[in-house]
């Protein structure tokens, strides 16, 4: 394979300017993550530890293999929502290793409003279950939660993708043979009682853990019976009398040791084999990506410069280099694993769409996972391109992306607008994982384009009614709100708060994070469904 030869001058003023801008975005990201992990009230901290409970980060530390990587999922979910302090949507979740085995872990953080479940908390749990199902990862839940956040109960209970879906998924996961282990470390009240009940294994912590369909206050209100939480659903009751729980644990540490033992007893993971070779670092420093990515999304740059800092040995076997040059396709290795990569180098034309379709088919047939580096304003528009059939060529690419059966992983490294988001494997196209860089933006179109379309529609309407076009003032009144909304709602932080992605990445970590995602994906059979495609419009 050829080594990509970088043409970037790392001493140039432009490089330094870009580098400074990206470093500041990465510093902001680190500060956001730090706040999400650390910002807990003293009162909640004290209440938590006074009960003999370990903080959620320490629970994970004891559960996971020391020194093994942990790929956190959606750490900034619900950022800026509710009272602004429901960090991570109230839980810590991610893929880690237990007894050498990759597992999906979700853990309520009881120091955030008693670990109660907000609407975004349900969305995060469902996302983690999807990850466990698609990648066949054993699922471990460390439950410590007051159940539904009652003031928002109507937003998290009744619909198809609300709370009930969590337990529905548990039944489906059980049927699929995905092991589920729940550790009861706090309350499992009402619906949450089904989390341990529907798991294969339930470990129950004495005194702090309790499971009941109705807690003591509800029992008192409904029947007048006075009963303590311990008597109603404590570890002794459920491990000795009801059989709801399987393993009695003296405390958090003991319970986590039992969970580790249970994972060690699982049947071995049969990881999918893909072509591999000895891993190698890129020849160029991944941190140089900071200086390569322009401050403005409107400034073009060569995505090969990013690839040179991402793939093993900076080696890349490029496919159809001179045809459809606005999309770069080719094969490379990531931490020793062979992948097919598609990276945008401009707007998508018919040729680039056809090239993508052929490349996706090749990788899909040969069992090579696909990586999408998305920086795309959309497919080319205008009379010439419509006549050339840009829609039918774009369709082929979108069709191939949707139906490809190998694992797909997406990183939005810049723009993600319009149908370009679909063709480059946006969230709706089922990538196993999707991350954003902090500079990335997402939306149907950019703020200026959206504002211009609305003004044009209004002026056409006025012309039809025989009225003069809008004044500058009227235009501004229409443009400003849409501009502001697109500006705010198009940011990576808005995306990650809403769980449109699995997290925002430091660009320099992209190669490592992709490799962890890929390694997790290989726990499932290579193909998610039978190989094949629908009808391509010719």
Tell me, by CB under 6 A, how many residues bind ligand COA.
14
Tokens matching residue 96:
């880690």
x-marked contacts with ligand COA along 150-169 as a string, rule CB under 6 A: x-------------------
Are residues 145 and 188 in contact, defined by beta-carbon separation less than 8 angstroms? yes
Q: Which of 88, 119, 215, 507 binds ligand COA (CB under 6 A)?
A: 215
Q: Check residue 147 for interaction with ligand COA (CB under 6 A).
A: yes
Are residues 269 and 336 in contact, defined by beta-carbon separation less than 8 angstroms? no
Burial classification of residue 277, based on how many CB atoms lie within 10 Å of its CB (0-12 exposed, 13-18 middle, 19 or more buried): exposed
Q: Check residue 146 for interaction with ligand COA (CB under 6 A).
A: yes
143-151, 174-182, 303-311, 359-367 -> range binding ligand COA (CB under 6 A): 143-151
> Which is closer to ligand COA, CB of 99 or CB of 190?
190
> Which is closer to ligand COA, CB of 185 or CB of 376?
185
CB of 216 to ligand COA, least distance (A): 8
> Which is closer to ligand COA, CB of 211 or CB of 521?
211
> Which candidate, 432, 410, 428, places its Cα nearest to that of 505?
410
Q: Write out the DSSP string of 143-157.
A: EEE--B-GGGHHHHS
Please name the residues in contact with 455: beta carbons below 8 A apart, sequence gap of 6 or more: 470, 475, 478, 479
Mark 188-199 as b/e (b = at least 16 C-beta within 10 Å): bbbbbbbbbbbb
> Which is closer to ligand COA, CB of 189 or CB of 496?
189
> Which candidate, 256, 314, 242, 243, places its Cα nearest to that of 285?
314
Q: Check residue 143 for interaction with ligand COA (CB under 6 A).
A: no
Give φ, ψ of 386 to 5 degrees.
-65, -45
CB of 189 to ligand COA, least distance (A): 4
> Which is closer to ligand COA, CB of 166 or CB of 424?
166
Alpha helices in 367-417 (DSSP H): 383-387, 390-403
CB of 186 to ligand COA, least distance (A): 6
Q: Check residue 149 for interaction with ligand COA (CB under 6 A).
A: yes
Q: Check residue 38 for interaction with ligand COA (CB under 6 A).
A: no
Q: Which of 189, 199, 208, 495 binds ligand COA (CB under 6 A)?
A: 189
Q: Check residue 148 for interaction with ligand COA (CB under 6 A).
A: yes
HEC readout, 238-307: HHHHHCCCCEEECCHHHHHHHHHHHHHHCCCCCCCCCCECCCCCCCCCHHHHHHHCCCCCCCCCCHHHHH
Q: Check residue 114 for interaction with ligand COA (CB under 6 A).
A: yes
Q: Check residue 113 for interaction with ligand COA (CB under 6 A).
A: yes
Q: Check residue 284 for interaction with ligand COA (CB under 6 A).
A: no
Q: Which of residues 46-85 bind ligand COA (CB under 6 A)?
A: 47
Are residues 165 and 288 in contact, defined by beta-carbon separation less than 8 angstroms? no
CB of 127 to ligand COA, least distance (A): 21
Q: Which of 18, 108, 116, 416 binds ligand COA (CB under 6 A)?
A: 116
Q: Which of residues 502-521 bind ligand COA (CB under 6 A)?
A: none
Select the residue whose beta carbon is closest to ligand COA and give its number. 146
C-alpha span between 165 and 148 (Å, rounded):
14
Chain residues that interact with ligand COA, rule: CB under 6 A: 47, 113-114, 116, 146-150, 187, 189-191, 215
């Amino acid at each position: 394979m050829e080594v990509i030869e970088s043409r970037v001058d790392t001493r140039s003023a432009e490089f330094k300017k870009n580098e400074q801008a990206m470093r500041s975005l990465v510093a902001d990201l680190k500060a956001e993550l730090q706040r999400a992990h650390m910002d807990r009230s003293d009162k909640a901290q004290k209440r938590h530890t006074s009960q003999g409970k370990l903080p959620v980060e320490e629970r994970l530390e004891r559960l996971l293999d020391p020194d093994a990587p942990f790929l956190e999922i959606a750490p900034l979910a619900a950022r800026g929502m509710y009272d602004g302090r429901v960090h991570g949507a109230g839980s810590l979740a991610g893929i880690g290793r237990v007894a050498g085995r990759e597992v999906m872990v979700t853990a309520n953080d009881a120091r955030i409003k008693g670990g109660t479940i907000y609407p975004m908390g349900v969305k995060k749990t469902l996302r983690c279950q999807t990850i466990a199902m698609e990648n066949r990862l054993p699922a471990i839940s460390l439950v410590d939660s007051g159940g539904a956040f009652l003031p928002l109960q109507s937003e998290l209970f009744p619909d198809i993708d609300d709370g009930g879906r969590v337990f529905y998924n548990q039944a489906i996961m059980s049927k699929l043979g995905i092991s589920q282990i729940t550790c009861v470390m706090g309350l499992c009240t009402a619906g949450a009682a089904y989390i341990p009940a529907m798991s294969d294994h339930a470990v129950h912590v004495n005194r702090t853990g309790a499971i009941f369909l109705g807690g003591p206050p509800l029992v008192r209100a409904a029947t007048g019976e006075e009963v303590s939480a311990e008597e109603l659903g404590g570890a002794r009751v459920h491990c000795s009398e009801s059989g709801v729980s399987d393993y009695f644990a003296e405390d958090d540490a003991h319970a986590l040791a039992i969970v580790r033992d249970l994972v060690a007893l699982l049947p071995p993971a049969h990881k999918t084999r893909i072509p591999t070779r000895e891993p190698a670092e890129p020849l160029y420093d991944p941190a140089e990506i900071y200086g390569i990515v322009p401050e403005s999304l409107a400034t073009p740059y060569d995505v090969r410069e990013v690839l040179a800092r991402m793939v093993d040995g900076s080696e890349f076997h490029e496919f159809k280099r001179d045809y459809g040059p606005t999309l770069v396709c080719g094969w490379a290795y990531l931490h020793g694993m062979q992948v097919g990569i598609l990276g945008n180098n401009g707007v998508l034309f018919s040729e680039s769409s056809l090239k993508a379709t052929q490349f996706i088919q090749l990788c899909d047939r040969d069992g090579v996972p696909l990586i999408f580096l998305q920086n795309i304003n959309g497919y080319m528009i205008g009379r010439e391109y419509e006549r050339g059939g840009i829609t039918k060529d774009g369709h082929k690419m979108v069709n191939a992306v949707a139906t490809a059966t190998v694992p797909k992983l997406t990183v939005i490294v810049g723009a993600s607008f319009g149908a370009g988001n679909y063709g480059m494997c946006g969230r709706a196209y089922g990538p196993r994982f999707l991350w954003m860089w902090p500079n990335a933006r997402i939306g149907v179109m950019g703020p200026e384009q959206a504002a211009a379309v609305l003004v044009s529609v209004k002026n056409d309407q006025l012309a039809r009614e025989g009225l003069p076009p809008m004044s500058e003032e009227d235009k501004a009144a229409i443009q400003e709100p849409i501009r502001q909304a697109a500006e705010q709602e198009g940011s990576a932080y808005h995306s990650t708060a809403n769980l449109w992605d699995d997290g925002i990445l430091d660009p320099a970590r992209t190669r490592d994070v992709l490799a962890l995602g890929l390694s997790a994906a290989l726990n499932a059979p290579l193909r998610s469904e039978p190989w094949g495609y629908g009808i391509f419009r010719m």
